Amino acid sequence: MAQINWGRVIAGGLLAGVVMNISEAVLHGGVLGQDGAELFESFGVSATPAAWQVPVLVGMTFVLGITSVWLYAAIRPQFGPGPKTAICAGLVVWILAHLWSGAYLAAGFTGLITPRLAWIPVAWGLLEAPLGTLAGAWLYKE
């Protein structure tokens, strides 16, 4: 059994994180930007993030990217290298991150979070997570 190449996991994970962060910026800054602003306004809260919030969210998205490439590297011996395995790893990441959070927001904050703000990111993530993982897996070699 081949050992995981941690340098490539980190490099591929950072690439996956770039893809995912760009996607998240388009989603939350563009597609859902007005919806988010209206939500904040409805609660009388400033839509301007605190200085620490954006770096934390960007950093956690890089952690998600690294995790997705680590998962790809971990299942690669069983499923073989290549895009199919990367997409499978990305779908697992989608279930654990995007689908879970959408269900949590929709069920746990019913009446506070609109269905659009809960479920559009889930649908968006169904493309984002596999594509980010695919990009990161492209750099991974054992």
Model confidence pLDDT, tens digit, residues 63-96? 999 999 999 999 999 999 999 999 999 999 999 9
Whether 118 is covered by a domain: the verdict is yes
Positive or negative, the CA dihedral 128, 134, 135, 140 is positive
| Residue 141 pLDDT | 87
Distance CA 78, CA 55 (A): 36
- Check whether 111 has a pLDDT greater than 90: no
Distance CA 38, CA 27 (A): 15
Looking at this protein, which amino acid is placed at residue 140? Y
- Check whether 1 has a pLDDT greater than 70: no
Residues whose CB is less than 8 angstroms from the CB of residue 91 and which lie 6 or more positions away in sequence, other chains included? 129, 130
Report the predicted TM-score, pTM, of the whole model to 2 decimal places.
0.92
pLDDT top residue among 122 and 109: 122
How many domains does the chain contain in total? 1
What pLDDT digit, counting tens, does each position of 52-62 carry? 999 999 999 99
Whether 1 is covered by a domain: the verdict is no
Whether 67 is covered by a domain: the verdict is yes
Whether 27 is covered by a domain: the verdict is yes
Closest by Cα among 126, 138, 64 to 95:
126
Domain carrying residue 90: 6-139
